[in-house]
């Protein structure tokens, strides 16, 4: 495996790279360019970068205005201050008029680390996916983050993208890799259970799969990078094949990927769905790696949920 | 200034008031107070100032207008109908299921609406984005936005005020419909936002204070705004909420209430009488 790289880093690099191809791309930030990595774009295209200061609500509406004039604005801040603080602005001035604004939120989830609960947004996916017409993407590595940025540029409409602070492994560097909004990627096949994950949890799901193999359990692993629109076709096929689903996300188990999967399956093909994620609590301060251990947002935590899911399936 | 033009714009403003009152009456809900206070400004915008063409509502070169105080849309809709964007009969379907005359402006369904608005404080920022795009592309269209004085209690208004000055958006013209009233009473009692002039000056804006019902002053202010280079302009337009309908004037209670049939008929006759007093060919 290649060196680890944070998806926020890949985001900044992708903006700078695609910025020369797509001249309508404009980048806005709210005094966090160093952290969100939009600074990489700023250095290359200063005339297309606008710092809005610590005023996120204004920033998202300025982005809306720019988009009405044909620009493709990428507006960045931490997930907490995008989906959280500016929900009304995103809902009313971007979502309702279905404007071509890309909301790119970094520092999502508890892997933010030391900054603690106020900065660890575990609710952003839930908030964003309730907005009609909003595309919601949570990429699983740097390769996918870059692909998602290009897909978002080509897609005409509002997109919410979530990027992490923590460097993570590259898991998609294979020649067959293809990113398509709303199309899940099957990472590994199995018959006993399906693990549906996104963001940094996809790698953990693959590790969990190895651990389960040692116990004679074969797990299918799905990378559900797009939470909305959710790939129902893949979910139904998996539900029919394995009959048990575990979702895994670095997000509250309420409202995020787990909820989206459960909602989709319970209406079409009900099978046990067990959600793995942040268990409806706030985060806390600490080094990211220790927090991941503390909240069991790792392969170990997934394996525990898999056991529950298989028991549920077998007791039906 | 040409007296005929002033008279004509006064007639248009009265037609806007008639249309707005009719819309609110037909909907049995809506916001007549702020629509009436902004009618003269709206008349000057759509029938003198804005470079817009109802035959080509998406023209990239057109001037932009954002009604940040979206609840005053009965006046906007009446102006757009008079301008020819759609048939005036739609005003009677204001707030009805199936109508494109939504309770607050919807750019997706109504021709001529440059931005959806309703949640206060947002449209002004959107207008900043429109003006910034023009600057980036070297286009010479101008962007106008109307906010309310109650609306200026929203923190985002001051975020946008900073932003427009910081990026020298001299192609942006903000108008404050300074009618002094909001739902809970007088702005100065609810949460005082005044004085505006010194605030905006401190933020680095060009400031013009006018009587928002005086056509000549409104038109002159627009001209002066265009001449101001290097900084955005705010026109602080002193207005009377409910202007033109005697029993609605200066009454906070008419912020968001529809007239009953008797009140509606009084409003129509007052406005019609005023319009007739202006003479002319309409």
| Same domain for A89 and A11 | yes
- Domain of A271 in residue numbering reads as 185-314
Residues A304 and A213 in one domain: yes
- Say what the pLDDT of residue A2 is: 54
Q: Do residues A235 and A115 both lie within one domain?
A: no
| Site from A31, A62, A66, A72 to mutate, B interface, most B CB atoms within 10 angstroms | A62
In chain B, count H helices and then E strands: 10, 7
Based on the domain organization, do A158 and A220 belong to the same domain?
no
CA distance B161 to chain A (A): 10
Structure tokens at B216: 């000549």
Q: Which phi and psi angles does A64 have, rounded to 5°? A: -60, -45
pLDDT higher than threshold 60 for residue A1: no
Residue in B118, B122, B123, B129 to test binding to A, most A beta-carbons within 10 Å:
B129
In a shared domain, residues A309 and A267: yes
Could you report the predicted ipTM of this complex, rounded to two decimals? 0.97
A7 touches chain B (CB under 8 A): no
At residue A3, the pLDDT reads 85
pLDDT at A316: 84
Residues B24 and B61: beta-carbon distance below 8 Å? no
Report the CATH superfamily, name and number, of domain B3-277.
Answer: Thiamin diphosphate (ThDP)-binding fold, Pyr/PP domains (3.40.50.970)
CB pair distance less than 8 Å for A58 and B106: no
- If we measure between CA atoms, which residue out of B92, B100, B121 comes closest to residue B21? B92
Whether A136 and A209 share a structural domain: no
Q: Is the pLDDT of residue A64 over 90?
A: yes
* Residue from the list B125, B133, B155 with its beta carbon closest to the beta carbon of A61: B125
The CATH number linked to A26 is 3.40.50.970
Which strands sit side by side in the sheet containing B172-178, from one edge to the other?
Answer: B64-67, B143-148, B172-178, B233-238, B206-211
A147 & A202 share domain: no
Strand pairing of B181-182 and B185-186?
antiparallel
Predicted TM-score (pTM) above 0.90: yes
Residue A173 lies inside a defined structural domain of this protein:
no
How far is residue A183's CA from residue A265's CA, in Å, rounded to a whole number? Answer: 16
Question: What is d(CA B260, CA A79) in angstroms, rounded to the nearest whole number?
Answer: 48
Which of A47, A50, A97 comes nearest B108 by C-beta?
Answer: A97
Q: Which of A69, A96, A132 to mutate to test the interface with B (most CBs of B within 10 A)?
A: A69
CA A161 distance to own-chain centroid: 6
A101 in Cβ contact with A155 (< 8 Å):
no
C-alpha dihedral (B129, B133, B139, B140), degrees to nearest 10: 10
User: Which of A77, A62, A28 shows the shortest CA–CA distance to A48?
Assistant: A28
Q: Which of A128, A162, A196 is the last residue before a domain boundary? A: A162
Contact B118 A92 (CB under 8 A): yes
Provide mean pLDDT across the span B65-84: 98
**pLDDT tens digits, one per residue of A250-285:** 999 999 999 999 999 999 999 999 999 999 999 999
- Specify whether the CB–CB gap between A153 and A72 falls below 8 A: yes
pLDDT of residue A284: 97
Interface of A with B in 179-198 (CB under 8 A): none
Residue A93 to residue B122, Cβ atoms within 8 A: yes
Residues A109 and A222 in one domain: no
The pLDDT > 70 percentage for chain A reads 99
Among A130, A162, A194, the domain boundary falls at A162
**Could you tell me how many CB contacts below 8 A there are between chain A and chain B?**
112
Domain boundaries, chain B: 3-277
Spot the catalytic one: A17, A47, A56, A290. Answer: A56
Tens digits of residue pLDDT in B107-130: 999 999 999 999 999 999 999 999
Average pLDDT over residues A181-196: 98
| Number of domains observed in the structure of chain A | 2
User: Does any CB of chain B come closer than 8 Å to the CB of residue A135?
Assistant: no
Enumerate the residues of chain B whose CB falls inside 8 A of the CB of residue A158.
Answer: none
pLDDT of residue B279: 86
Q: Are residues A194 and A231 in the same domain?
A: yes
Domain membership of residue A170 (yes or no) is: no
User: Chain A: nearest CA to B60, how far in angstroms?
Assistant: 7
DSSP annotation of B65: E
Mean pLDDT confidence for B235-252:
97
Quick check: is A84 in a domain?
yes
The answer to the question of residue A74 being in a domain is yes
CATH of the domain at A212: 3.40.50.920
A27 touches chain B (CB under 8 A): no
pLDDT of residue A312 exceeding 60, the answer is: yes
Contacts of B262 (CB under 8 A, 6+ apart): none
What tokens appear for A105 in the block? Answer: 């939120």
Comparing C-alpha atoms, which of A52, A97, A45, A96 is closest to residue A75? A52
A15 and A80 inside one domain: yes
Please answer yes or no on whether B134 and A64 come within 8 Å at the CB atom. Answer: no
Q: Cβ–Cβ of A97/B107 closer than 8 Å?
A: yes
- Contact: B159, A57; criterion CB under 8 Å: yes
- For residue B4, what are the contacts with CB-CB under 8 A and spacing of at least 6? none
Res. B37: pLDDT tops 50: yes
* Beta carbons of B126 and A53 less than 8 Å apart: no
Q: How confident is the model at residue B282 (pLDDT cuts 50, 70, 90)?
A: very low
Assess whether A257 and A308 both reside in one domain.
Answer: yes
Element (H, E) at B178: strand B172-178
Of the candidates A135, A139, A159, which has an alpha carbon nearest to the alpha carbon of residue A147?
A139
- Annotation says A56 is catalytic: yes
Per-residue model confidence (pLDDT) at position B2: 87
Q: Inter-axis angle of helices B123-137 and B155-166, to 10 degrees?
A: 10
pLDDT in tens, A79-115: 999 999 999 999 999 999 999 999 999 999 999 999 9
Judge whether A178 lies within some domain: no
Q: Is A51 helix (H, G, I), strand (E, B) or coil?
A: strand
Q: Which residues of A touch B64 (CB under 8 A)?
A: 68
In a domain, A256, yes or no: yes
User: Is a pLDDT exceeding 50 seen at residue A139?
Assistant: yes
Burial B198-221 (b: 16+ CB within 10 A, else e): ebbeebebbbbbbebbebbbbbeb
């Amino acid at each position: 495996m290649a060196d680890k790289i944070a998806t926020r880093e890949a985001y900044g690099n992708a903006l700078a790279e695609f910025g020369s191809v797509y001249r309508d791309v404009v980048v806005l930030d709210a005094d966090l360019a160093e952290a969100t990595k939009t600074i990489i774009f700023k250095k290359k295209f200063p005339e297309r970068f606008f710092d809005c200061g610590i005023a996120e609500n204004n920033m998202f509406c300025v982005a809306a205005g720019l988009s009405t004039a044909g620009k493709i604005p990428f507006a960045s801040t931490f997930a907490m201050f995008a989906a959280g603080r500016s929900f009304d602005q995103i809902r009313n001035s971007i979502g309702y008029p279905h404007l071509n604004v890309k909301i790119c939120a970094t520092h999502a989830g508890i892997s933010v680390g030391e900054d603690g609960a106020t900065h660890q947004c575990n609710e952003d996916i839930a908030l964003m996916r309730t907005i009609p017409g909003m595309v919601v993407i949570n990429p699983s590595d740097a390769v996918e983050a870059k692909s998602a940025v290009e897909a978002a540029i080509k897609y005409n409409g509002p997109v919410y993208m979530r990027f992490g602070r923590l460097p993570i492994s590259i898991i998609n560097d294979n020649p067959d890799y293809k990113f398509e909004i709303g199309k899940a990627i099957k990472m590994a096949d199995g018959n006993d259970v399906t693990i549906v994950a996104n963001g940094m949890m996809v790698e953990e799901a693959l590790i969990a799969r190895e651990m389960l193999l040692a116990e004679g359990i074969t797990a299918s692993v799905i990378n559900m990078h797009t939470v909305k629109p959710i790939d129902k076709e893949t979910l139904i096929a998996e539900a029919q094949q394995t009959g048990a689903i575990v979702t895994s996300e670095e997000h509250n188990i309420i409202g995020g990927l787990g909820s989206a999967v459960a909602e989709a399956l319970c209406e079409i093909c009900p099978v046990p769905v067990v959600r793995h994620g942040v268990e409806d609590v706030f985060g806390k301060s600490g080094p990211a790696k220790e927090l991941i251990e503390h909240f069991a947002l790792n392969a170990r935590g997934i394996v525990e949920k898999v056991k529950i899911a298989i028991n549920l399936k077998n007791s039906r | 200034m040409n007296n005929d033009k002033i008279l004509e714009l006064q007639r248009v403003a009265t037609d806007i008031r008639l249309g707005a009152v009719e819309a609110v009456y037909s909907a049995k809900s809506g916001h007549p107070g702020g629509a009436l206070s902004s009618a003269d400004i709206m008349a000057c915008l759509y029938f003198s100032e804005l470079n817009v063409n109802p035959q080509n509502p998406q023209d990239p070169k057109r001037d932009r207008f954002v009604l940040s105080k979206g609840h005053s849309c009965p006046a906007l809709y009446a102006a757009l109908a008079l301008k020819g964007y759609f048939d005036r009969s739609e005003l009677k379907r204001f707030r009805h299921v199936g109508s494109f005359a939504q309770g607050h402006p919807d750019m997706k369904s109504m021709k001529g609406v440059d931005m959806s608005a309703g949640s206060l404080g947002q449209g002004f920022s959107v207008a900043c984005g429109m003006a910034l795009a023009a600057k980036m592309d070297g286009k010479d269209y101008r962007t106008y936005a109307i906010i309310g004085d109650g609306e200026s209690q929203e923190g985002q208004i001051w975020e946008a005020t900073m932003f427009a000055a910081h990026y020298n958006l001299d192609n942006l013209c903000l108008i404050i419909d300074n009618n002094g009233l909001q739902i809970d009473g007088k702005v100065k009692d609810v949460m005082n936002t005044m004085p505006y002039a010194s605030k905006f000056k401190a933020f680095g804006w060009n400031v013009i204070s006018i009587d928002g019902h005086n056509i000549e002053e409104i038109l002159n202010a627009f001209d002066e705004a265009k001449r101001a280079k290097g900084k955005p302009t705010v026109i602080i337009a002193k207005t009377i909420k409910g202007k033109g309908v005697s029993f609605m004037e200066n009454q906070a209670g008419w912020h968001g209430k529809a007239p009953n049939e008797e009140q509606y008929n009084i409003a129509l006759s007052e406005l019609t009488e005023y319009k007739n007093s202006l003479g002319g060919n309409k």
